[in-house]
Structure 1
Amino acid sequence: MVDDRSATNSFGLTHEYLSIMLGARRPSVTDAIHVLEGEQLIRSTRGNLGIRDRSRLVEFAGESYGTPEAEHRRLMSLPLTSRKTRASTHALA
Structure 2
Amino acid sequence: LDVRRLSAMAPAEAMLDVQRLPGIGPFYSALIVIRACGLTDVLSTQEDHTRAAVEALYRLDHTPDDAELERIAEAWRPFRTWAAVSLRAIGSRILDRPAA
User: Which of the pair has the greater relative contact order for Cα pairs under 8 Å at 6+ separation?
Assistant: 2
Instruction: Specify the TM-score bucket, using the shorter chain as the normaliser.
Output: under 0.3
Higher strand fraction: Structure 1 or Structure 2? 1
* Larger CA Rg, structure 1 vs 2: 1
Using the size of structure 1 for normalisation, the TM-score is 0.28
